[in-house]
Structure 1
């Protein structure tokens, strides 16, 4: 007998991420009973679903209570579970700040404009725009701005390669764009205030980066649902 939940979990394990418009991913996002069963099956294996209405993909991760038991034998798990060294984590934080923070601000602004313009009763139920507000960074500019604090061109190139392999970013023709895990694996609600209100936010603003000065008032995830497949 066909088991769609088992198939979805197997696909997520095999591919790491699925686009949210994938039929099975969409079902997990719009079918409440299916989602409950999926969450229960994942929890039974120490896993959880990673998704948010601002990201273009879904994924799975260890449940928070399993992180210590799984990675606790190695000190590195206290900062990350991908084997990244400090300079790679610093680079990831900078890239997240330069890509996700401006993207989230533009998503929120665009969403607000659309809601004001739409007379459509169901306008508020459309998913957040994603691709239309994506950021593109120049590797050359990144190295020029941060090379002196992130190990120089060679080290940055090596770390960019690692971040690309892990799915945090994409690289093409010396340009950097968001990878499928950048807006999933890092918790916006925890990381954004530390950057916006911290020293890194001030440094990035002085360099001309589009970093907001305060957290945008974002609606909860429950306010944004994916449209039913046609």
Structure 2
């Protein structure tokens, strides 16, 4: 077990995320003893396993009690350890709210209607797909039209979006922004979702989300037309 555990921890540290279909990741999800050993090893380093049954990947992050020691330096408080500026963090939250939040709400609704439960942490070898739920992408142009000027203008928007893609939060493809491996893991749904849904950002996203959805449908129709030709 020690060698397998060492390999898994090393890979998580080096790659930051691993598909839960990977044999070692799958073992961590279904083998309770292996999972406990992994969590103990990470705990000794001030880290914790990031995993939820709806996500396609597993990752590691700081334990809450380590945040002050890592992010708090004198009077300065680092928002993250990835070098992201404040406007990039704001863009990340907006993208999470537009891509992950609606997907998660659909997944939870499907799970409830099917009578599924998340109580068996080790019983799931793969994420709860429930009809192969896929997070819909959002058009880059629509995101910029709604939030770009508030997030530093076109140059900053493009630079920050590129950095988020490089870090694995999003995937850019054909002027569309799609969910990346870390987008569903690095933000705590239980903490952030109520703030967005019940807060002012929820109203902003509700309006812009409708517009983005319409533009995405139009893009899909255009793509279909091109393919038919």
Q: Which TM-score applies when normalising by structure 2?
A: 0.80
- 1:207 lines up with 2:211 in the alignment: no
Partner of 1:129: 129
Partner of 2:55: 55
**What's the CA shift for 1:2?**
6.2
Note the 1:155-194 alignment, pairs <5 A: 155-194=156-195
8 Å contact 1:76–1:83 — kept in the other structure? no
Q: Which TM-score applies when normalising by structure 1?
A: 0.80
Cα distance in structure 1, aligned partners of 2:48 and 2:127: 22
Give secondary structure in 2 for the equivalent of 1:182: coil
Note the 1:108-147 alignment, pairs <5 A: 108-115=108-115, 127-129=127-129, 132-147=133-148
Q: Which moved more, 1:107-116 or 1:57-66?
A: 107-116
**What's the CA shift for 1:110?**
2.8
8 Å contact 2:55–2:127 — kept in the other structure? no
**What's the CA shift for 1:113?**
4.2
Give secondary structure in 1 for the equivalent of 2:138: strand
* Per-residue Cα deviation, 1:28-52 (whole angstroms, up to 9, x for no partner): 0111111111111111122111111
8 Å contact 2:103–2:133 — kept in the other structure? no
8 Å contact 1:136–1:177 — kept in the other structure? yes
**What's the CA shift for 1:114?**
4.1
- 1:196 lines up with 2:197 in the alignment: yes
Stretches of structure 2 lacking an aligned partner (at least 5 in a row):
117-122, 212-229
Partner of 1:152: 153
* Per-residue Cα deviation, 1:132-171 (whole angstroms, up to 9, x for no partner): 3211111111111212222222211111011111211111
Partner of 1:24: 24
* Per-residue Cα deviation, 1:94-119 (whole angstroms, up to 9, x for no partner): 10110111110111233344449xxx
Cα distance in structure 2, aligned partners of 1:45 and 1:72: 18
Stretches of structure 1 lacking an aligned partner (at least 5 in a row):
117-123, 211-230
Partner of 2:218: none
